[in-house]
Amino acid sequence: MTSNNLGEIDYSAVGLKVGLEIHQQLQTRRKLFCYCKPDLIKRDPDFKIIRYMRPTLGETGEIDRAALKEFKKRRKVIYESYYDLCPYELDEIPPYDVDEESLEVALLIANIFKMKIPDILAVSRKQYLDGSVPSGFQRTILVALDGEFEIFNGKKVKINQLCLEEDAARKIDETDEAIIFRVDRLGIPLIEITTEACLNTPEEVLDAALRIGAILRSTGKARRGIGTIRQDINVSIEGGARVEIKGVQKPEWFKILIDNEIRRQFKLIEIKKELEKRGVSESDIRREQEVDITDLFKNTKAKFIKSAISRGERVLAIKLPGFSGLLGLEILPKRRFGKEFAERVSVITGLKGIIHTDELPAYGISQEEKDKLFEITKADPGKDCVVFVVGPLEKALDAIEEVKERAVLALRGVPEETRRANEDGTTSFERPLGTAARLYPDTDSPNVLISKKLLEKIKSIKVELPWVKEKRYIEELGLPTTHAKKIVMSEWVTTFEELVNIGLPAKLVATTLVETLTSLRRDGIPVENLGEKHIKELFKALKEGKIAKEVIPDILSYLANNPEDSIEKAINKLGLTKIDIKTLEKLIDRIIDENINLIHERGERAFSPLMGHVMREVKGKIDGKTVSEVLRKKIEERMSKN
């Protein structure tokens, strides 16, 4: 993810407010509502089932708008499963009792954040019609309220709530017609922590996320590995609206995503003001009806339209009064306002997107066809924009409705919605923001009573918190303060401790994890592909003398690009098989013979250039300290003979 270099933003001036949602899987012996093992299964699934989702009324008596949009997609959902799993994962039996171990971890975390814990916890259903849960809802428990913690600048960050919930199934594939999930992940216990939207800079957001993550890991019950922790951010600015950005996979994404969302909201607010200036009203948009313009394009040179018509598909258009020039307006570099309409149509209906007159003539559509389009829809080329879609009639009708809805939302400025984080720092429409209507009680699960005895047990559990670890690392392990601060906030903290406990040098391990990996990332190496297994195998090879510490960056770089390869294969591929002392001595003798005049001229001062010469030839096949010792000894021997 790269910045678009549009200049720095005054976050105070724009009224930036950001809230965090942290989702962390727990390391437990069973799943949250059944007794299956909470592990992903690597082999191919044993069987599949197909289902369709439909919305239900929430506790408020309303249908959640996000659920309704998912229902409109009309996609079939395919679930891949295993005989290892019980029928609960497919919603064929009621849930079992809540896992006590998971509950205790949730209470422990709530205690660390000084949260208020109710005497009785209720299990609720949170409706999801995207197919990620076969039942159509996720079971969740509100465990605690009103906590807080402090970030780097002394600000107190309020935690609104802590929930214990089951993780969803994992998405395997998706097409316009179907979506495939694998249910092995479904039911893994998950902690969800939601902060107040009181973070006012990307730096505060980053620090808060890292601190929450570090505290969760300090319990020893946080799962490790790719996908075990997920972060969402809720972003708003003055005059804008709350937008949830899901799937912020890496800490370095925060600033880019937040900056781009600020710029996006600013542009949407400007568009709203322009529409007000033009006198456009909601009723102007609502009264417009779709127009079938299929006949207009029967002889078009736009091949994709002609092909669609030959398949029996239709071309429908709608006039957006007063929208002339706005859909072609750039809201971010290489991203125009029309993209907001296109994404909504694509996500909800499965059609590829939209075409609008602000971008015509293009795609083989002529100026004559554009002019005729305005005429048929009774649009004014100087005032209005015409949008049209191509697809099966039912989908095309749905798409036109989505275009109208997005146009109405433009009058309000920034729509409240959930958006997906993209690799380029932008976001894409995912669904309208969920409402209270998506929550309702779970009638299959009894309430959970929190006894004084249980709370006393939780309070007696000792946890070494990050700031305590930091002090210990400095005082006992001799780490520099900067390294100690970074490592306790890092996802690698548990790996660091395990490596140090088996006798590896703390400074070397810390430097590798907080400096070398960062340096490789900046060089474009995909270090996100490196897991705990890679790091442990690397340091095991170092401890066994198979590699020298000088080649650590080379091996990490290779493994990041080839994550399926073993450390042995990396060593062989890079030609880093370690040489023995005798081979080193012969090599040094040769280099000294070739440079004997240098020793005669400089004496001991010949060490530095000769050291560089030797290190270039051994290329990390033996550590520098050994090379230095042998070379000094050899130089002294030659000098004593003269």
% of the chain exceeding 90 in pLDDT: 76
- In angstroms and rounded to an integer, the radius of gyration of the C-alpha atoms of the chain is 30
Question: Regarding beta strands 417-421 and 243-246, do their DSSP bridges make them parallel or antiparallel, or are they unpaired?
Answer: parallel
For residue 118 the two structure tokens come to 């109710």
Q: Which of 524, 573, 527, 518 is nearest to 551 (CA)?
A: 573
177 Cβ partners below 8 Å, 6+ apart? Answer: 75, 76, 350
Q: Locate tokens 């709608």: which residue?
A: 318
Angle in degrees, CA 445, 447, 453, rounded to 5: 135
Strands 17-25 and 189-195: antiparallel
* Predicted local confidence at residue 16, as pLDDT: 98
Two tokens, residue 356? 């609008």
pLDDT at 230: 93
Q: Specify the higher pLDDT residue, 71 or 624.
A: 624
**Lowest mean pLDDT, pick from 7-16, 266-275, 624-633:** 624-633
Q: What is the pLDDT of residue 474?
A: 97
Cis peptide preceding 361, ω within 30 of 0: yes
Residue for token pair 């568009």: 271
Mean pLDDT of 597-622: 77
Angstrom distance (rounded) from CA 328 to CA 331: 9
Most confident of 170-179, 193-202, 546-555: 193-202
Task: Record the pTM.
Answer: 0.84
Residues ≥6 apart with Cβ < 8 Å to 207? 151, 152
DSSP state of 296: G
Higher pLDDT, 331 or 626: 331
Please provide the DSSP assignment of 599-636 as one string: HHHHGGGGHHHHHHHHHHHHTTSS-HHHHHHHHHHHHH
- Structure confidence at residue 307 (pLDDT): 96
Place of tokens 């924009």: 385
Closest Cα to residue 40, out of 79, 78, 82? 82
**Tokens standing for residue 505:** 């040098």
For the chain, percent of residues with pLDDT exceeding 70? 95
Q: Show the domains of the chain with their CATH numbers.
A: 11-275+437-441 (no CATH), 281-410 (3.30.1360.30), 466-574 (no CATH), 581-641 (1.10.10)
Q: Which two tokens stand for residue 457?
A: 């047990």
Do residues 500 and 543 make contact, with C-beta atoms less than 8 angstroms apart?
no
Report whether pLDDT(577) > 90.
no
Tokens linked to 456: 């006393």
pLDDT over 80 (residue 43): yes
CA triplet 270, 197, 21: central angle to 5 degrees? 110
**What pLDDT sits at residue 21?**
97
Neighbour-count burial of 384, counting CB atoms closer than 10 A to its CB (0-12 exposed, 13-18 middle, 19+ buried): buried
Question: What is the pLDDT confidence band of residue 585, given thresholds at 50, 70 and 90?
Answer: confident
Q: Are 249 and 394 in contact (CB under 8 A)?
A: no
pLDDT of residue 286: 96
Written as six digits, the tokens of 96 are 């079992």
Give the pLDDT score at 3: 47
What is the b/e burial string over 326-346, where b = at least 16 CB atoms within 10 angstroms of the residue's CB?
bbeeebbeebbbbbbbbbbbb
Residue 5 reports pLDDT greater than 60:
no
Residue 288 sits at φ, ψ, to 5 deg, of -70, 140
Distances from the Cα of 46 to the Cα of 1, 82, 84, 581, angstroms? 37, 5, 9, 55
CA-to-CA distance for 174 and 236, rounded, in angstroms? 30
What is the sign, positive or negative, of the torsion defined by CA atoms of 550, 554, 560, 563?
negative
Phi and psi, residue 256, nearest 5°: -65, -45
Say how far apart CA 559 and CA 562 lie, in whole Å. Answer: 5
Given pLDDT bands bounded at 50, 70 and 90, which one contains residue 72?
low
Model confidence over 146-156: pLDDT tens digits?
999 999 999 99
Q: Answer whether residue 349 shows pLDDT above 50.
A: yes
Q: Give the pLDDT confidence score for residue 564 in this predicted structure.
A: 93
- At 1, the pLDDT band (50, 70, 90 cuts) reads low
Ranking 70-84, 310-324, 349-363 by mean pLDDT, the lowest is 70-84
Say which range, 52-56, 126-130, 401-405, has the weakest mean pLDDT: 52-56
pLDDT, residue 558, reads: 94
Task: For residue 261, name the pLDDT band (cuts at 50, 70, 90).
Answer: very high
Provide the 3-class DSSP secondary structure of residue 94.
coil
pLDDT on residue 640: 75
| Spatial contact of 415 and 242, defined as CB atoms under 8 Å apart | no
Q: Is a pLDDT exceeding 90 seen at residue 581?
A: no
Three-class secondary structure of residue 341 per DSSP: helix
Residue type, 254: F
Rounded to an integer, what distance in angstroms lies between the CA atom of residue 84 and that of residue 186? 13
| Cβ neighbourhood burial of 523 (10 Å; 0-12, 13-18, 19+) | exposed
pLDDT digit string, tens, across residues 396-447: 999 999 999 999 999 999 999 999 999 889 999 998 887 666 788 999 999 9
pLDDT-based confidence at residue 631 (cuts at 50, 70, 90): confident
Task: Output the CA–CA distances (angstroms, integers) from residue 13 to 51, 200, 262, 423, in the order listed.
Answer: 49, 10, 11, 28
Pairing of the two strands 17-25 and 229-236: antiparallel
Nearest to 354 by CA among 295, 429, 422, 427: 429
Across 544-564, average pLDDT: 91
Look at residue 200 and tell me whether its pLDDT is greater than 60.
yes
DSSP 169: P
